[in-house]
Structure formats: C-alpha cells, structure tokens
Chains A and B, each alone.
Chain A
Amino acid sequence: MNSAVNFGGALRGMWALVWAQRCTTGTIVRWGIGACALGFLMLLTIRSGQEKEWLGWVIGFYVQFLIPLTCLNVCGSMMRAEVQANTLSFLCTRPLRRHTLFLLQYLCHVFWLQLIFLAGTLGLFALGIVKHAEGLGALLPTMLLTQFLAIFAWSALSALLGLLHQPTLHPPSHPHLVGAKRNGGRPVCYLVFNLIDFCRIRAMRCHDYFPRRWCRFVHLP
C-alpha cells in the first residue's frame, strides 16, 4: 500500500477536494446571480452605436480588473484558508513534499479559475453577439489566450503573496513595487491600488459609454 505517490493521482485527489470545496450550491448560486446581474446591467446600459467601445471597455475591465482581483482572492487565500480552517494538518501529513503540495493547490485553483473565466468570456461574447458588436470572431482566440496566460501569471503572484505573513512584510518604498500587508487574513497587495487606479481612470470616461444619469454620482477632477 505504501507505494510512491504518483503526481497525477495526487493531482486528481487535490482537484476532487478543490472542486468539492469550490462548487457548493451556495457558491454556484452566488456566481450565477452575479454573472446574470452584470450581464443584465450591460444589456441595459450599452448605448446604441457604441458597441465597439463598450466591448473594449468591458475587455479592459475583465482582463485588467476582474481577473487579477479574482486570482488574488482565490489563490492568495488558498493555503491561508486551510490554516484558518485548521485543516492544513490533514494535507501536511500526506506523503508529499511541501512544494509539491503547494504546486498541486496552485494548479487546481488555476484550473478552476480557467473554467470560471472561460464560461465568463463565452458569456461576454454571447452578449456582444446579442448587441451586434463587430469583429468578435477574430477577437475571441486572442482573448482566450490572453486570459489563459493572465490567470496563470496573476494566480502565481497571488499564491506567493498569500504565503507571506505579517512579520515578513514591510511597506514598499515605491508604490509600484509589490508589497503586501495582512488584512483579515488575506493579503491586500499594492497591486490592488493599481487596480483602484484603473477603476478611477475608467470612471473618468464613464460619460463616454453610459447614460449621464448613471454617472451622476461619479465626481471627477
């Protein structure tokens, strides 16, 4: 029985655990409601004749904001969540090296994110088809490749940030350097401030895409 642990078998085991943990009824319902609400809001707010700009805006929002934030949330807490739930000992006492365990967690969470965003992107493009946006066929492969690579990269960075803990962290000397601090058990990295900056810039152009009544609460310099 005590044979060497096969990486493929261990990966299947970890995937079974991650899938079961992530795909609870409550989680699926929350994601579904969020996606439907976002899609409905987009359908309502896209101005006629500005579908192309809208698509550019959405893709920017998707790739530069939603993917990094979700990766940060999911992969940044993948090990920390086990620590906080006191369930890490069940994993740490398996016959696996620490780095293998970390790699398995990373790969399984990345795969889960890939599935989520694949569904999201297809939904987004379906929305574009409904609104008769042009050039979707040529854009789709590029979009899929970009998000595939972006998820790997953002998840890797987030997973490494998630390993940091407070005593090892210091404020960055420069705002563009990656620093992190612990907030409620999850790393809040300075990349989030970049994301907020992105939102601020996008909000400045809010009037270009959305009806003015939707933007009246946005006070910009």
Chain B
Amino acid sequence: MSGESITPVIQATELSRWYGIVMGLNNISFEIGPGLTGLVGPNGAGKSTLIKIITGQLRPSDGALTVFGAQPWNNPEVLRDIGFCPEDDALPDHLRARTWLRGLAMLSGIAPSAAPDHVDAILDRVKLERVHWEKPLGQFSKGMRQRVKLAQALLHHPRLLVLDEPMNGLDPMGRQEVQRILKQLAVEGTTVLISSHILHELEALCPEILILNWGRVIASGSQLALQRRLQGTEANLHIRCSDPVRFTRVLFEADLLLGFDSTDNDGDDGNDGGLDLRVNDPQRFSDSLVDLLTDNNIALHELRSRDRSLQDIFEKMTE
C-alpha cells in the first residue's frame, strides 16, 4: 500500500482466521504504512476480525500479521504502541469518566502519581467538557461516550491508533473535531487506521484505503491509485462550456458519450451551460478533449468528476 521505501506499520502475510467452519479472513496479504488509512467493507467483510487481530485480541488461524515488525497477540511490547477505540458503545456505566480513565492509565504503564494529570490532559484533548469529568459514564450522551473511548485509546500515546466507527453518534461539530484530532495525530507521526461506514468522511480524511469483502482484500492503496485503476470503464463528469448542445453532438460523433443530462440550475439566467456527462472511455476522452474543444471553438469553463468518490470506488469494487 505504501511506497516501497516506507517501512510498513502493519504487514499481513497470507493471513486467515476461521470461526469454526466460518471464514472471517481468507488468506489476505497487505501492508499499511504511516498516515491515515481507511478500512472499508460491507457487513461481514472481516473488518472487525482484522481489527481484533491487529489489536492483539485475536490470534490468526494461519499466516502472520505484524505490527511494527512483531506479532501483537499477547505481546506487551507491541500493545504498548497500539491504541484501540472499539465500535461497541459498552462502557462501565456506573464508573466516572475520570476514575475509569485513571485506572486504565495505570494499567497502560503510566505512573500512579502522574495518572491524574495525564488523564486530565487527554480529556482536554478530546474536548470533553470539564463538568462531565466526574459524572458516571451511564449519564453520557453517545457523542460524549465516543470522546471517552477515544481518550482511553490515546492514554499511552500509541504509535498506531485503530478506530472502529469513531464518528458514530457524533454531531457534525463533533465529527469535525475528531477529524481534526486524527489529522493532528497523523501529522505528529501516529499511524491511524479507521474503519467506518461514513465513506465521504473517510474520503476526506484518509488518503489510503483498504477495501475488504468476503474476508478478502479486494483493493488497497491510495484513493488516487484506485481511481486510476477504475479508468477504462466509464466516468461521470460535470462540464460547463460555452455551447453545450454542440459539445454533446461532438462527443456523440466521437463515440465517447453514453448519456447526458443538462444541469441549468446554477446560473442566474437559468442556464449556465452545465452538463452531466457519462463517457465510456475516460482515457480517450481526456486525450481528445482539447482537440475537440479547439476544433469546434467551444470555451470550457469547468470540468470535474462526478464519481470516483470513495463511495463509487467501494461500489465498483464490491459489486
């Protein structure tokens, strides 16, 4: 996934995991490098199994998975560098946030004398308001619980942070705040692996993605590289030009157009020359676009892709 010169943080080699006769992961191999990586897949794809193996909660049935060069199962040396924020909303409801986090901080190797200040700093970092620090967790809203879960994952300053659906239950402001924290962590050198169903947020957050389906890796790499892989099929574009009617005819004549729809709702005059196009050969389209425009004396105002979003990549890869 990462560049050849970058040492992978997570490396799986022919990794498999069975639950009885059910296969959770089926002989997968991949690498995840530093930075932000999104883990995507439909329900039952094996995401949770993979996350559990990465965080040392499960043992692989076959193959190997290493984090920072060592297997995480029952390995404190590796677990010291991993922070995990689970999807489950289960927290010990009658414990107070501060008490719970102090206990976990001491279990993570933070000196008892330093634990209180450390916990306070982490709670400040995840923006949990101070009035809630001494409240039982059972009284917390879902968004507050997400922040506490994130806080417990950050307690020991891990070099790899694994988050399972971290945006669940957060309001838009909360999501932006969590995204800001995660980006900041990545800048500081923490590798962040995020599993989420909110694809447009992953798209904005994670330059690298790993797509799982039926226990197998069906795509991995940068979003840009995956977009390139999808070239050659078809593309949905939005274009705005001086003469949309002529441009549409020219594309038909060049056998590039599969369909189009006029979008005339943006301009003040009710027609901004906008077209939604579906072209059948994106590479040939981009190669011949300049010639087509100049030959027909059409001025191009805007050209952008309407697909190739993470959602689109995900749908194409999993269909």
Assess the B55–A93 pair: CB atoms within 8 A.
yes
The contact string, 1 if C-beta is below 8 Å from chain A, for chain B 45-72, is 0000000000111000000000000000
The residue among A3, A86, A94 with the most chain B CB atoms within 10 A of its own CB is A94
Name the CB-closest residue of B to A104: B107
Which segment, of A17-25, A38-46, A139-147, faces chain B? A17-25
Assess the B95–A90 pair: CB atoms within 8 A.
no
Assess the A5–B109 pair: CB atoms within 8 A.
yes
Assess the B76–A93 pair: CB atoms within 8 A.
no
Instruction: State in angstroms the CA–CA spacing of A20 and B91 once bound together.
Output: 13
Q: Is B230 an interface residue (CB 8 A)?
A: no
Q: Is B192 an interface residue (CB 8 A)?
A: no
Assess the A89–B109 pair: CB atoms within 8 A.
no
* Chain A residues whose CB sits within 8 angstroms of the CB of B57 once the complex forms: 89, 92-93
The residue among B79, B82, B99, B107 with the most chain A CB atoms within 10 A of its own CB is B107
* Chain A residues whose CB sits within 8 angstroms of the CB of B84 once the complex forms: 89, 93
* Chain A residues whose CB sits within 8 angstroms of the CB of B232 once the complex forms: none
Q: How far is the CB of A139 from chain B (nearest CB, A)?
A: 38
Assess the A13–B95 pair: CB atoms within 8 A.
no
Instruction: State in angstroms the CA–CA spacing of A24 and B152 once bound together.
Output: 22
Assess the B157–A2 pair: CB atoms within 8 A.
yes
Assess the B90–A13 pair: CB atoms within 8 A.
no
Q: Is B112 an interface residue (CB 8 A)?
A: yes
Q: Is B74 an interface residue (CB 8 A)?
A: yes
Contact of A13 among B96, B105, B157 (CB under 8 A): B105
Name the CB-closest residue of A to B73: A98
Assess the B81–A14 pair: CB atoms within 8 A.
no
Name the CB-closest residue of A to B149: A90
Assess the B106–A86 pair: CB atoms within 8 A.
no
* Chain A residues whose CB sits within 8 angstroms of the CB of B82 once the complex forms: 93
Q: How far is the CB of A114 from chain B (nearest CB, A)?
A: 20
Q: Is A33 an interface residue (CB 8 A)?
A: no
Assess the B91–A92 pair: CB atoms within 8 A.
no
Instruction: State in angstroms the CA–CA spacing of A95 and B157 once bound together.
Output: 12
Instruction: State in angstroms the CA–CA spacing of A4 and B76 once bound together.
Output: 8
Given contacts A2-B157, A95-B76, contact A14 B109 (CB under 8 A): no
Q: Is B30 an interface residue (CB 8 A)?
A: no
Q: How far is the CB of B154 from chain A (nearest CB, A)?
A: 11
* Chain B residues whose CB sits within 8 angstroms of the CB of A21 once the complex forms: 92, 94-95
The contact string, 1 if C-beta is below 8 Å from chain A, for chain B 78-118, is 01111110101011101110011011111111111001000
* Chain B residues whose CB sits within 8 angstroms of the CB of A89 once the complex forms: 55, 57, 84, 86, 88
Q: Is A107 an interface residue (CB 8 A)?
A: no
The contact string, 1 if C-beta is below 8 Å from chain B, for chain A 74-109, is 000000000001110111111111100000100000
Assess the B112–A13 pair: CB atoms within 8 A.
yes
Overall SS of chain B's interface: loop
Assess the B104–A13 pair: CB atoms within 8 A.
yes
Assess the A87–B90 pair: CB atoms within 8 A.
yes
Assess the B99–A1 pair: CB atoms within 8 A.
no
Given contacts A1-B156, A20-B96, A93-B55, contact A87 B91 (CB under 8 A): yes
Given contacts A9-B112, A13-B112, A94-B108, contact A20 B103 (CB under 8 A): yes
Q: Is A10 an interface residue (CB 8 A)?
A: yes
Contact of A95 among B80, B90, B96, B102 (CB under 8 A): B80
Q: How far is the CB of A23 from chain B (nearest CB, A)?
A: 10
* Chain A residues whose CB sits within 8 angstroms of the CB of B156 once the complex forms: 1-2, 95
Instruction: State in angstroms the CA–CA spacing of A82 and B110 once bound together.
Output: 22
Instruction: State in angstroms the CA–CA spacing of A10 and B76 once bound together.
Output: 13
Q: Is A16 an interface residue (CB 8 A)?
A: yes
Instruction: State in angstroms the CA–CA spacing of A215 and B108 once bound together.
Output: 55
Q: Which of B199-237 contact A (CB under 8 A)?
A: none
Name the CB-closest residue of B to A91: B107
Assess the A90–B106 pair: CB atoms within 8 A.
no
Contact of B152 among A5, A85, A90, A104 (CB under 8 A): A90
Assess the A4–B109 pair: CB atoms within 8 A.
yes
Q: How far is the CB of A103 from chain B (nearest CB, A)?
A: 13
Assess the A96–B92 pair: CB atoms within 8 A.
no
Assess the B104–A90 pair: CB atoms within 8 A.
yes
Assess the A85–B90 pair: CB atoms within 8 A.
yes
* Chain A residues whose CB sits within 8 angstroms of the CB of B109 once the complex forms: 1-6, 9-10, 95
Name the CB-closest residue of B to A96: B76
Instruction: State in angstroms the CA–CA spacing of A95 and B103 once bound together.
Output: 13
9 CB contacts below 8 A, A to B, read: A2-B81, A4-B109, A5-B80, A13-B103, A17-B95, A86-B86, A91-B107, A93-B57, A94-B107
Q: Which 6 pairs across A and B sit closest by C-beta, in order of nearness?
A: A13-B106, A86-B90, A17-B103, A95-B80, A5-B109, A16-B103
New A-B pairs, 4, CB < 8 Å, besides A13-B106, A87-B92, A90-B104: A20-B100, A21-B94, A89-B86, A95-B80
